[in-house]
Structure formats: C-alpha cells, structure tokens
Amino acid sequence: MGYRFDDLKAACQADWRAYIEHDFVRRVGAGTLAEDAFRHYLQQDYLFLLHFARAYALAAYKSRTLDELRQAHEGLKAILDVELGLHIDYCRTWGIDEDDLATLPEARATLAYTRYVLDAGSRGDLLDLHVALAPCLVGYGEVANWLESQEFTLRGEANPFEAWIAMYASPDFQAAMRAEIDWLDTRLADVSPSRFQELTTLFRDATRLEIDFWQMGLDRAF
Ligand SMILES: Cc1ncc(CN)c(N)n1
C-alpha cells in the first residue's frame, strides 16, 4: 500500500492544526487582527514570495523530464505573475508601496523558513522540494477553506481582510492546491517507509516554520 499526501498531514497532525487554526488566522477570519500586525505580515510575505519564486526556479533545475520542467515553469509563473502581482496591489491598498517593499529588512522567521526550503531542495531531489513547499501551497488553501467553514468568520466588507481570504479561496488557488496534492499522491505512492519518515521530517519542519511566520506577524517581530 502506498502513501498519500494525507499521510504526511496525519503524521504531523498537532503541528498541522496549530498552523491552520493559528490565532493570526482566527483574527483574520473574525476581522479583529491589529492592522499593524497584518501590515508587518504583508511586508514580510512579499520577501517570502520572492524566495519562493526562487524555489520554483530550483524545481526547474531539479527536473528530469519535460513534464516536470513545465510544472516548475507553471509554479514560477503563478507566483511571479499572479500571487506577487496581487500581493503588490493588495499591499498598496494597505498603504505599502513597491519602493518600501524593495528596502525591507528581512525578519528572522522569513529568513529561517525561506532558506530552509531552498536548502531542502538543494540537498534533496524534486520530491523533497515539493514536500517542503507543500505547507505553503496546500496550507493557505486549507486556511481559506477552514475560515469559510467557521461561524466566527466575518464575511463581506465588514472584514478588512476579506480580499486576502478571497484570494486563497479563489478557484485558481484551490485548483493549484489540488494539482499539488495529486502530484504528491502520485509520488508518495512509491516511497519506502524510511523515505516517508525523511519526508515527514521535512513536512513537519516547514509546517512549524509556517507557524513561526504567523507568530512573527502577531508579534511584529524582526
Ligand atoms: C508564509 C506564506 N506561506 C504560504 C503562502 C501562500 N503561497 C504565503 N503567501 N506566505
């Protein structure tokens, strides 16, 4: 019997729930997050996305087939042309312009998470890299779905974070999340128990670094 993406989540259930249901996320849903905490998060997320674009470029380098190269190219385009573009527009509505973004100091949580993923991808193969990237892509899709299912979530214009939730609940983002899960399900089906343990460590570490990223926003930490 092969492994699936859900087995990775099941192996790190407590960390995964702590990530998806973090206080930062709850306050975004309820519309009660302090504005300066959200602004700090948005600024650091710009730096995060730049490094994640590099991770997709690394996925291209690690590719062995034309299909894998195309997949890496699509991932890179999705970050550069869609998510980063939306992010820059969205930052503007929060009073942060592109020049401010270009000169931001990098917080430790941003540094730790992004370099961890790039290192995991450099040392390992394409599957290691995808597993290290999965909490990012799959996690935010799940955060949006979880918020949409919660009674405390304030919908519509009354919630200052509505557009942020909508971005990750959008059909495009959800489709990208499902495609990533399908790809991981196919790859994980063939791995041995010891390889699955190695991948679980990567997945757990990346999930814990996502938790630190939310906390960095709440604490306005550098
Ligand atoms: C920290 C973080 N993790 C995930 C995502 C969703 N791509 C993001 N924008 N920022």
Q: Concatenated DSSP letters for 47-116?
A: HHHHHHHHHHHHHHHH--SHHHHHHHHHHHHIIIIIIHHHHHHHHHHTT--HHHHHTPPPPHHHHHHHHH
* Active-site annotation holds for 136: yes
Catalytic residue among 83, 91, 136, 142: 136
Closest residue to atom 6 of ligand 1, CA basis: 136
**Cα atoms in the Cβ-side hemisphere of radius 13 Å centred on 7:** 17
CA pair distance 214, 221, nearest whole angstrom = 10
Mean pLDDT of the chain: 95
ipTM value: 0.98
Residue 27 has what pLDDT?
A: 98
Report the predicted TM-score, pTM, of the whole model to 2 decimal places: 0.96
Best residue among 140, 143, 216 to mutate for probing ligand 1, ranked by most atoms within 8 Å of CB? 140
Average pLDDT score over residue span 25-41:
97
How do residues 56-102 score in pLDDT, each as one tens digit? 999 999 999 999 999 999 999 989 988 898 899 999 999 999 888 88
Domain extent listing, the chain: 9-42+52-219
Tokens of 147: 């918020």
- Out of 5-19, 41-55, 77-91, least confident range: 77-91
Q: Provide the 8-state DSSP code for 107.
A: P
Tokens of 49: 């996305």
Taking the centre of ligand 1 as the mean of its atom positions, its distance from the CA of residue 140, in whole angstroms, is: 6
Taking the centre of ligand 1 as the mean of its atom positions, its distance from the CA of residue 54, in whole angstroms, is: 14
- According to CATH, what is the number of the domain 9-42+52-219? 1.20.910.10
User: CB–CB of 94/38 below 8 Å?
Assistant: yes
